[in-house]
Amino acid sequence: MKKLLCTMLFGTALVLGACGGGGDDGASDGSSDNGGGSTDTAASGEEIFQNNCASCHGSDLSGGMGPDLTKVGSRYSADEIANIIKNGRGQMPPQKQVSKEDRQAVASWLAKKK
C-alpha cells in the first residue's frame, strides 16, 4: 500500500512539475515585447509551448504523457484552447501561472495546427 501511495505521489509531482511554467516571464529574445505582428506571435507561441508544454505533449506535438496536438486546431478554436490551458481538462491541471498574453500566443499558434 505504501509503495502504491509513493508511486502515485511521485507521478503527480512529476506531472505537475513537467507541465508547470518556466519562470522566465516571456520570450528570451524580446520578440514579444514589441507587440509585433502575427509572425512574432507565432514564434513566441511556439517558444512558449516548447518551454512549458512540450514535456507532456511532445516537442513535435505528437503527444506522450499528454495528448497528441498535431491537429488540435481542427477540433478547437484559439479561445477554446486558451480556456483549456487556463482551466485544465481531463488529466491536465490548470496552468494558472501562464500569463494571459502567453496563453493567447500558444493558443493562436496551436489553433493553426489542422
**Cβ neighbours, 10 Å, residue 35:** 8
Look up the pTM and report it.
0.64
Architecture per CATH, 2-22+35-111 = Orthogonal Bundle (1.10)
87-93-98-104 Cα dihedral, nearest 10 degrees: -50
Domain residue ranges in the chain: 2-22+35-111
Express each pLDDT in 81-110 by its tens digit: 999 999 999 999 999 899 999 999 999 999
Give the pLDDT of residue 14.
53
